[in-house]
Amino acid sequence: MKAAEKDRVRRAKAAERRDLAERREAARQAKAYEAKVRKAEVTDERDRKAHEKAVKAAHAVAQQSEVERMNSEVDAVFDDLEGLLAATIDVDDHIDLDTLRKPFDATPFDMPDLEIPLVAPKRPKVPSEPTYVEPAKPKGFFGKRRKLEEARAMARQTHETRKAEWASGVLALEEKYAIELAAYEQAEAERVDTLAAEKDRFRRELDDYNQSIDQFITNLSYGDAEAVQEYISLVVENSTYPDHFEVTHEFSFAPETAELRMSVTVPTPDSFPAVKGYKYVKTSDEIREVPLSQTEIKKRYASVLHQVAIRSLHEVFEADRRGLIRTISLEVGTKAQHPATGRLDFLPFVGVSAERDSFMEFDLSGLVPLATLKHLGAAISKDPVALVAVDVKGVRKS
């Protein structure tokens, strides 16, 4: 039955996500269609009237689609809040501390840029050596030999000048390349040395970290108070609540009594969702809120408190497979101005104490949180929305 309930919750959540995505896409398409209709060209009076009618119809459809999208999001929020306890049923809250170790070969190096070799400079492409070009033979009948010799002398001089310029250019390229190559070789050698040093540093840090994990595991096996505190901090960090419902935990462990005292803070009643849904009023072209009744707000907020209380007990007891924590004394409330003093204070709305062995026999998939709290002798606020706190002094502690 428990496995079937887990599967049902998973399928329901998946269907909810699909429905919300479909509603968002339908609203987007409706708005896009409305924009397209508005941009349509109108050529005559008959078309103008038809166009106005089409615009109104498209706008109404877009507004209704937007309402459906908004209502789907409201429903999703309330589904999250109504399923706070169910969300932990198919989650194993135990943390395998061995998985916290970081093997050197499997842990990404924290300076990966050092592992990339530098790019060596490319040897420059040397231009071809200039070749001597024999001048053309002069034309005419007189002085051809003299003119040819003069042309040859000028060509040789030009060739020698170009050859000297070429040799100077080649030398400059070679010198520049030699400087770049030397700089590269020095930088690459420095990179290799730095990489080796940083790898050694990285390995030492991993060794220190893994030794601390080993010590943590050893201390926890002995029931060391600090180790238990650290382990529970990991457990509550893994406890994922909806983004719109922030939950914080404070706790202390007393090794002499094996009792964990925990305080869980939830959002204030005035930040709790108060809108039941939305509706589109076509006559005024308005999307209006449909508020929750005060009775419904009280009912839903109380339900959240009861679920958080049972969930907190379950997550800690389930995570503690060693049975180091025998009893949990729990308070669930909010931080708000105290009605009597006006000072910001923690106001407990649920106070309960539970013993491990008896609590672990409960079936979370079949219990009613309020009934379970009453069974445990919890102190429960009659009106948390009005910030009526409970006296937790009467809640049993070891």
Containing H/E element for 248?
Answer: strand 248-254
Do 51 and 160 have their domain in common? no
- The more confidently predicted of residues 197 and 1 is 197
Answer yes or no: is pLDDT of 15 > 70: no
Q: Which amino acid is at 321?
A: R
**How much of the chain exceeds pLDDT 70, in percent?**
89
Domain boundary among the residues 190, 220, 250 is at 220
Residue-level pLDDT at 66: 87
How many angstroms separate the most distant Cα atoms in the chain?
135
Do 29 and 143 have their domain in common? no
Contact 297, 271 (CB under 8 A): no
pLDDT digits (tens, 9 = 90+) for 172-215: 999 999 999 999 999 999 999 999 999 999 999 999 999 999 99
Domain boundary among the residues 62, 82, 102 is at 82
pLDDT digits (tens, 9 = 90+) for 226-254: 999 999 999 999 998 999 999 999 999 99
Residue 194 lies in a domain: yes
Do 346 and 209 have their domain in common? no
How confident is the prediction for the chain on average, in pLDDT? 88
Answer yes or no: is pLDDT of 127 > 60: yes
Residue-level pLDDT at 37: 63
Do 279 and 199 have their domain in common? no
Q: Which of 394, 259, 383 is nearest to 313 (CA)?
A: 259
Helix residue spans in the chain (DSSP H):
2-38, 45-82, 144-221, 225-238, 294-319, 356-359, 369-375
**Res. 135 pLDDT band, cuts 50 70 90:** confident
The domain in which residue 314 lies consists of: 241-398
Do 263 and 357 have their domain in common? yes
**Alpha-carbon span 314 to 236, nearest angstrom:** 11
Answer yes or no: is pLDDT of 372 > 60: yes
Residue-level pLDDT at 379: 96
Q: Which of 197, 221, 226, 236 is nearest to 93 (CA)?
A: 236
**Alpha-carbon span 334 to 28, nearest angstrom:** 38
Do 154 and 190 have their domain in common? yes
Do 254 and 391 have their domain in common? yes
Residue-level pLDDT at 347: 96
**Res. 145 pLDDT band, cuts 50 70 90:** confident
pLDDT digits (tens, 9 = 90+) for 29-38: 777 766 776 6
Residue 93 lies in a domain: no
Could you please report the per-residue DSSP string of 217-230?
A: HHHHHTT-HHHHHH
Residue 51 lies in a domain: yes
What is the tally of structural domains in the chain? Answer: 3
Contact 219, 79 (CB under 8 A): no
DSSP 76: H
Residue 344 lies in a domain: yes
**Alpha-carbon span 394 to 296, nearest angstrom:** 29
Mean of the pLDDT values across residues 130-156?
82
Residue 227 lies in a domain: no
Domain boundary among the residues 160, 188, 220 is at 220
Do 361 and 293 have their domain in common? yes
Residue 182 lies in a domain: yes
Q: How many residues does the chain have?
A: 398
**Res. 13 pLDDT band, cuts 50 70 90:** low
Do 378 and 253 have their domain in common? yes
Residue 200 lies in a domain: yes
**Alpha-carbon span 332 to 314, nearest angstrom:** 14
Residue-level pLDDT at 270: 93
Is the pTM for the entire model greater than 0.75?
no
Place of tokens 């509706």: 279
